[in-house]
Amino acid sequence: MISAALSVFTLLPAAAQETETADTAVVAVEKLVVRQVGAAPADERSGNNDLTTHSREEDVSYSSSSRQPKRWKWRGGHWAGVGIYYNGLVRNLGTLSLPDGADYLRQTPKSIGVNVNFADFTLVSNRHFGLITGLGLEMNNFRFDENISLTRDGSGRIGPDYSYDAAGIDLKKSKLTTVYLNIPLLVEFQFGRSKAGRPCPGFVNFGVIGGMRLQGHTKVKYRDTNGDMQTRKQHSGLNLRNFHYGVEFNVGYRYIALSARYYPHNIFVADKGPNVQQVNIGLSLVF
């Protein structure tokens, strides 16, 4: 009898401590476990003088699919696609005119260029911002208003060729074409309300762009004395730059963007042609 009483006296502090400290323990990592520790029911203790414990576990599971997806989620940049734009030659961006003595470069509204951007790649990103690059082609057509072509004069500079006008030949088309392989480096911000987990519809990106010239030529079309249409191209001796660099800005919604580029350097080699810069303004269809 005395030994049984001592056993009960010894176990009571431990049971009380366990009841006090571990009455309810909750662990929630994809699974919520509730454990209750206390005295066993009376019917389980019948016929036994020792104090026993009874434990019960309740499992409450939560499916990961019940989590709400992020409202903002980066889904790639907006540069790959095709675009059409007006490409013009100006003295600089602040003065949208030609330099003195270069009026022969005045262009028609048909000076239309085309972008074909094959792909874009995200370098780094978070929910709202991304740094993107890519690869694309830029094809410019500078169509001249006057009956001229371009030629190299005695000093090696590019100037107007009035030989067709002097011969009484009416040019039907006179233009300068350049083709560049471009690589951009743009910062993009995506904005606007969208359904959970879907890309945001609005975007703005801007940054720098550089490219290597793949081709450059002049082209004239005219009708000869027999009334036949003739085409003549000149691929060499134009003093065009082999590389160009500039800045780009795009703002759009879903698949349509307003695009602009400006190349602050001369399109010709320094001191080998009129000092004119290129500006492009147009629309793009992004993938």
Show the domain range for 36: 2-66
Q: Does residue 58 share a domain with residue 102?
A: no
Phi, psi of 223 (to 5 degrees): -105, 125
Q: Does residue 223 share a domain with residue 157?
A: yes
Q: Does residue 242 share a domain with residue 109?
A: yes
Asked whether residue 62 carries a pLDDT value surpassing 90, the answer given is: no
- The answer as to whether 212 is a domain residue is yes
- The answer as to whether 266 is a domain residue is yes
- The answer as to whether 233 is a domain residue is yes
Q: How far apart are CA 165 and CA 29, in angstroms?
A: 84
Q: Does residue 52 share a domain with residue 186?
A: no
Q: How far apart are CA 57 and CA 34, in angstroms?
A: 6
Q: How far apart are CA 204 and CA 150, in angstroms?
A: 38
Q: How many domains does the chain divide into? A: 2
> Using one digit for the tens of pLDDT, what is the confidence trace for 112-140?
999 999 999 999 988 778 999 999 999 99
- The answer as to whether 30 is a domain residue is yes
State the chain's mean pLDDT as an integer.
79
Q: Does residue 92 share a domain with residue 228?
A: yes
Per the model's pLDDT, the better-predicted residue between 185 and 201 turns out to be 185
Q: Does residue 139 share a domain with residue 235?
A: yes
- pLDDT above 70 coverage of the chain, percent: 72
- The answer as to whether 76 is a domain residue is no
Q: What angle do CA 279, 280, 282 make, to 5 degrees?
A: 155
Cβ–Cβ contacts within 10 Å for residue 64, how many? Answer: 6
Q: Does residue 139 share a domain with residue 39?
A: no
> Using one digit for the tens of pLDDT, what is the confidence trace for 128-187?
789 999 999 999 999 998 878 899 988 889 999 888 888 888 888 899 999 999 999 999
> Using one digit for the tens of pLDDT, what is the confidence trace for 250-287?
999 988 999 999 999 999 998 899 999 999 999 999 98
- The answer as to whether 152 is a domain residue is yes
Nearest to 92 by CA among 269, 272, 262: 262
- The answer as to whether 73 is a domain residue is no
**Segment (H or E) for 267:** none
Spatial strand order of the sheet with 31-39 comes to 25-28, 31-39, 53-61
Q: Does residue 86 share a domain with residue 62?
A: no
Q: Does residue 164 share a domain with residue 90?
A: yes
Q: How far apart are CA 270 and CA 240, in angstroms?
A: 9
- Domain end point (choices 39, 66, 93): 66
